[in-house]
Amino acid sequence: MSHADLFQSPVPSPSPYFHCDYSEWSPTFSIIPSVYLLAFLLGCLGNSLVLWAYLDRADNSLIASLALADLCFLVTLPLWAVYTAMGYHWPFGQPLCQISSFLTALNMYASVFSLSMLSVERYWVLTGRRPSSRHTLQGCPRRALWVLGGVWVASGVLALPGLLLRSVRQLEEGEKERAEMWWAAALSLKSTLIGFLLPLIVLLVCYCSLAQLVSRHFGRGPHPDRRRQRRLLRVIVTLVLAFFLCWLPLHVNKTASLLLEFGFLPYSCSLDRILLAAHPYVTCLAYLNSCLNPVLYAACDPSFRKRCRGALFGWCRMTGKRKDMGEGDEGNKDGVAQEKQEIIGQSIIFSQPGTLVY
């Protein structure tokens, strides 16, 4: 079963036309599963905080969409950890193979499309291309729902090959299972073009224009507005850079492997071995992007830090109140029991003989 990008096996298969000395990388089978499990724990916690902090406003819906896409993928990381630890043996059967591959693809497309729409929306707002606030995500919640629906429907359609074309089969020689993808080369190139290069071009155009706008106009505006806009831009640019830096090595690796396999690059055993050995690690780097975003929010967005502190303080206060209430209830019970004893004692002392005391 494969775990790299949904359209390429995690360790590219050596070319059948050449015989090179391929060696196993035993540290991979212990290092990468440990990283995956740590990313699963931290990523689920961090992205849940992001959802809680950004889900209350329509203009933050795309950031919440990014966190949701990361969560959809993070729940599959324990499966990939077991798969890697067992030497790329998939013990979970075909349905989980297909679902995990689909969620991996869905994460990549939904993340990059959410970032692209977030950047385009910010470009429209800052350049004044939209005449009124009711055309923005904040001013029109219905429009925010349409944008989110478009992002997730497009991502789901593009991720369908991971669900429909994955299959698990048993190899004759080693009795291991792996996922086999039909038309792997074409689908891999499709994921690189649609899920990486085209969004990169759109984002470069947006941010080059925004850079000119920032240098030309922001120095003339009111200081609070200038600071707020720059802070928001800093958050978005940081998220975009992190996504592309994390995913770039994987796309370069699998594209170079395809070019080498189909003869567009002169074949070299040393280059093939390097690509083969690096593939699990560049895949791991791409997957780590899903748990990196909450750290970037905490570093770049003061409002996110403030909300997290408020949530922590609220949780501490709630825990303290529950504890106090529990102690108070016990104290009240003791007090009531003591009062009852005193009343009973007084009743026994002062009641007439033969009186029943309840």
The structural domains of the chain, with segments of one domain joined by +, span 28-300, 301-358
pTM for the whole thing? 0.75
Res 40: pLDDT: 96
Q: How far apart are CA 112 and CA 167, in angstroms?
A: 27
Which residue type is seen at 196?
Answer: F
4 pLDDT above the threshold of 50: no
Binning pLDDT at 50, 70 and 90, where does residue 142 land? Answer: confident
159 pLDDT above the threshold of 60: yes
pLDDT one-digit tens code per residue, 121-136: 878 877 766 544 454 5
pLDDT one-digit tens code per residue, 225-250: 566 667 777 788 888 899 999 999 99
Q: How far apart are CA 306 and CA 132, in angstroms?
A: 30
The CATH number of the structural domain formed by 28-300 is: 1.20.1070.10
76 pLDDT above the threshold of 70: yes
179 pLDDT above the threshold of 60: no
Please report the sign of the dihedral spanned by the C-alpha atoms of residue 89, residue 95, residue 99, residue 101. positive
212: left (phi over 0), alpha (psi -120 to 50) or beta: alpha
Res 172: pLDDT: 52
Q: How far apart are CA 198 and CA 215, in angstroms?
A: 26
Res 22: pLDDT: 58
- Residues 7-31, mean pLDDT to the nearest whole number: 60
Res 231: pLDDT: 72
Q: How far apart are CA 331 and CA 136, in angstroms?
A: 56
